[in-house]
Structures are given as structure tokens and as C-alpha cells.
């Protein structure tokens, strides 16, 4: 099997088009098509279905591309090791959570003097899983409601991912100090209907449609919502717009003070969420990984 042909197949899968892939790879389209056919012949499978809309992966092709991406990533890692020398690397995808970012800051202060690269990405559960499976990131933290446990554990098992629960918690309400909700002795679901909810724009549960997840996660009683991905913008909205609130995992005292926020529990809320650490079964945790996980556990005990 030709590794170069494998690289070509991955690019075709990513673009969904022979034409686009040939432009990116600077290869003539007939030559690229011939390389893909030779690869399919060598493997004895059909990787792509050729349709009017482009190149679509077959089930066997989807499985092969997953393997191919991991192999190419490992080849790239080996090349970098011997071309650039030994470099310490750490990478993690996380949900937007201040206890996790607090742990990351503490971790950053413990990095030694050796040559090191660190990658920290806040994203949704779907992309965190995808990035870990592709080896682009070594660690991931996936957040989901506990009632979806079976869906995620089935996916983790099917994809060969190690997983362990980092924390379990209930969401709290966050609002600005000037928000009338902050003046109530006790906040109930019924009190929220006249306010604007700031919501995450990217809910995900494997095997369920996005519409099903949104219906489950977002209350029908709220008629006004602003969907925001970036955490800093969420907090700015809360501090500047007295009509807004958001459901989040408990945040740090420093963040509350910095943005002028108020954190309150809601007695009506009994929904439990989980943050789950994931990495590939064939991956061995590095010293940097263990250092981060230690700080993560400390932060969890402090804030959750």
C-alpha cells in the first residue's frame, strides 16, 4: 500500500471532490483518480462512491480513512521528532468551563524549561471526539447530560476511546449584578421566562438529531435566546445586558469578580451533567498529561 496514495485519499475524503483535492495537492485530476483506484485495488475495497455531488465515503471507506489519518499523523510525529529534535507537546480539547481553564492556567505555571508546545482548544463534544480520534489532540474533555450516558459510552467503546469521569455537577445560573434576577431570594424556572437566555450554539449527542438535543436542552418557556460560542463574549453580555442569564457549570470567584457577575443555584434544577476525560486506547499519557490531570482534579474539588 502506497502511503502517498493514502494521503491522497484522505484529502479527497476531506474535500468530497477529486477536483478540489487535485487543486490542493497540485496533482492532475486523472493522476489523482488513478491513484485512488490503485489504492482501492490494493486494499480490495471501495473507498468512495462516485456521485454527481462528489466523492462519498462507503462504510469501509470511512473506517479506512480513520485508520489512514492516524497513520499519517504518526508518520508526521516521527518526522518532526527526527527533524526538529525531541519536543514536549501537550494538547487538549475542552468544554467552556472556568474550573478547567483555571486548572490549565495552574498547569501552565508548572511547565519546565524544556522545549514545549501546548495546545488548548475550547470546543463542543463532537469536535473534541473528532480531534482526539484523528490524533490532532491527545486529550479531550466531553460534557454531556447524565441521561445521555449510554449514547456516549457506546460511542467511546465503538471508537476505541478510553474514558473516565472527571466531574459531575448541576448547572448554576449566572447573571450580571444589575439583573433583577440577582435580587431574588430564590430563583425558579418560572422567574426566567421574561429574560434572555444566553445559550451554547453547538449541542451534540451521538445517535440523536440536533433538533432532539436542542428540544431536550432548551426550555420551551424561554422565548428569547442569544446563541454564543465564545465564553468571553458570553460574560461580556451578562455584565452589560441586565436582561440576560446563562446556565453553566460553577465558575471561579476570580471570574465572578472580573466580570461583575452573580452566581446562583436554582432549586428547580435537578439535571446532572458530566465532564469526561477521553483519549485513544493506544495512547500512553505523558508527564505533561498527568500534570494537567492533577491540576484538573484539584480545580474540580475546589469549585464543583
pLDDT over threshold 90, residue 120 = yes
Give the residue range(s) of CATH 3.40.190.10 domains in the chain: 88-167+274-303, 172-270
What pTM, to 2 d.p., does this model score? 0.71
Rounded CA separation 258/292 (Å): 24
pLDDT over threshold 80, residue 212 = no
The predicted model gives 29-50 an average pLDDT of 92
Give the residue range(s) of CATH 1.10.10.10 domains in the chain: 3-82
Angle at 265 between CA 260 and CA 269, to 5 degrees: 135
Task: Dump strand ranges (E) for 156-224.
Answer: 161-170, 172-176, 196-199
Per-residue pLDDT band for 201 (boundaries 50, 70, 90) equals: low
pLDDT over threshold 70, residue 292 = yes
The per-residue pLDDT for range 161-187, each reduced to its tens digit, is: 999 999 999 999 999 999 999 999 999
Residue with cell 488548548: 120
Does CATH number 3.40.190.10 belong to domain 88-167+274-303? Answer: yes
Position 189 scores a pLDDT of 96
**Phi, psi dihedrals of residue 82, rounded to the nearest 5°:** -85, -20
Per-residue pLDDT band for 76 (boundaries 50, 70, 90) equals: confident
Position 87 scores a pLDDT of 76
Position 260 scores a pLDDT of 95
The per-residue pLDDT for range 125-134, each reduced to its tens digit, is: 999 999 999 9
pLDDT over threshold 70, residue 2 = yes
Q: At what angle are helices 3-15 and 29-43 packed, to 10 degrees? A: 110
pLDDT over threshold 60, residue 101 = yes
CATH class, 3-82 region: mainly alpha
Q: For the domain covering 172-270, report its CATH number.
A: 3.40.190.10
Position 130 scores a pLDDT of 94
The predicted model gives 77-99 an average pLDDT of 82
Of 156-160, 174-178, 207-211, the range with the lowest mean pLDDT is 207-211
pLDDT over threshold 70, residue 81 = no
Percent of the chain with pLDDT over 70: 96
Amino acid at each position: 500500500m502506497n502511503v502517498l496514495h493514502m494521503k491522497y485519499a484522505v484529502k479527497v475524503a476531506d474535500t468530497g471532490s477529486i477536483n478540489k483535492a487535485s487543486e490542493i495537492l497540485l496533482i492532475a485530476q486523472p493522476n489523482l483518480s488513478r491513484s485512488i483506484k490503485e489504492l482501492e485495488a490494493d486494499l480490495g475495497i471501495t473507498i468512495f462512491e462516485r456521485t454527481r455531488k462528489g466523492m462519498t465515503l462507503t462504510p469501509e471507506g470511512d473506517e479506512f480513512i480513520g485508520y489512514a489519518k492516524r497513520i499519517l499523523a504518526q508518520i508526521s510525529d516521527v518526522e518532526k521528532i527526527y527533524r526538529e529534535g525531541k519536543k514536549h507537546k501537550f494538547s487538549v480539547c475542552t468544554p467552556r468551563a472556568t474550573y478547567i481553564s483555571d486548572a490549565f492556567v495552574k498547569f501552565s505555571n508548572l511547565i519546565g524549561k524544556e522545549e514545549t508546545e501546548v495546545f488548548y482548544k475550547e470546543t463542543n463534544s463532537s469536535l473534541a471526539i473528532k480531534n482526539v480520534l484523528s490524533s490532532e489532540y491527545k486529550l479531550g474533555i466531553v460534557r454531556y447530560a447524565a441521561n445521555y450516558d449510554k449514547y456516549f459510552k457506546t460511542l467511546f467503546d465503538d471508537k476505541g476511546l478510553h474514558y473516565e469521569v472527571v466531574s459531575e455537577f448541576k448547572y448554576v445560573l449566572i447573571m450580571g449584578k444589575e439583573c433583577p434576577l440577582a435580587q431574588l431570594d430564590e430563583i425558579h424556572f418560572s422567574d426566567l421566562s421574561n429574560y434572555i437566555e444566553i445559550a451554547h450554539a453547538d449541542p451534540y449527542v451521538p445517535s440523536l438529531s440536533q433538533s432532539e438535543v436542542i428540544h431536550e436542552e432548551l426550555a420551551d418557556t424561554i422565548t428569547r435566546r442569544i446563541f454564543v460560542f465564545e465564553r468571553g463574549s458570553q460574560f461580556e453580555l451578562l455584565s452589560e445586558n441586565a436582561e440576560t442569564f446563562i446556565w453553566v457549570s460553577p465558575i471561579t470567584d476570580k471570574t465572578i469578580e472580573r466580570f461583575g457577575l452573580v452566581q446562583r443555584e436554582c432549586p428547580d434544577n435537578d439535571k446532572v451533567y458530566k465532564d469526561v476525560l477521553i483519549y485513544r486506547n493506544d495512547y500512553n499519557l505523558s508527564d505533561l498529561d498527568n500534570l494537567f490531570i492533577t491540576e484538573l482534579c484539584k480545580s474540580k474539588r475546589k469549585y464543583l
